[in-house]
Amino acid sequence: MNGLRACARKGFEGWLARCRAEILGLQEVRALPEELPEGLQRPSRWHVHYRPAERRGYSGVGLFSRREPDALHTSLGESRFDAEGRLQIARFGRLAVANVYFPKGSGRDRDNSRVPYKLDFYRALFDRLQALRRGGLRVLVMGDFNTAHAEIDLARPRQNVDNSGFLPEEREELSRWLAAGYVDSFRLYEPDPGHYSWWSQRSGARQRNIGWRIDYVLASKAALPFLRGAFILPRVTGSDHVPVGVEVDPAIFD
């Protein structure tokens, strides 16, 4: 969201009212629930849950759903991860949805100092979700992964090989998820380049489509038979990211 309050000022509530999604995940909310407009604290016809970071104005995730989750968890069991408010895992019948704001690897000095933390977060979440998969749940992992997996997933791969978001070790970690049976839902339906979900706010990058695809919905093997489509909505404005999602057979809940 790059700040839900900022998005609200740009018309997010109107978009939400028109949204036909069954489940909607927000990342980088950057606000406490009580700081949000009334319409986003208790939106009509939605169950809503926010997990803010301990640090004000930083990180945070939100989950909107038409049906109330059977269970919802927000902890990876390590304070260094939980303090940043990056995770919600909601169970709806046999479906488990992880709404995740994966860390960036770049530090405050625009270096790659946070890459070890980022990779540790990836690995801790992977292990947590493996337990759900072994329990027979159908798992969808959605959110801002802050990693472009392959050269096709960003406009300028050669210029970014030394930058967090496209480092070999970050890409290898995402490859490990795919090798373990997760499927990149968008690439299941769209093999061509030029499709991105994030653009720098500098130098007219969005207008020129100089972007990155760093927002994903990964589907576990058990969830895969229920997928019916995947999409990016590049015309939605209000943030430097745009929505991504999947269409599923309603039987995924049963």
Are 217 and 186 in contact by the 8 Å Cβ rule? The answer is: yes
The pLDDT > 70 percentage for the chain reads: 100
Domains of the chain listed by start with CATH number: 67-253 (3.60.10.10)
pLDDT digits (tens, 9 = 90+) for 163-184: 999 999 999 999 999 999 999 9
pLDDT of residue 176: 98
pLDDT of residue 1: 94
Residues acting as catalytic residues: 144
pLDDT digits (tens, 9 = 90+) for 20-42: 999 999 999 999 999 999 999 99
Q: Can you tell me the distance from the alpha carbon of 195 to that of 153, in angstroms, rounded to the nearest whole number?
A: 7
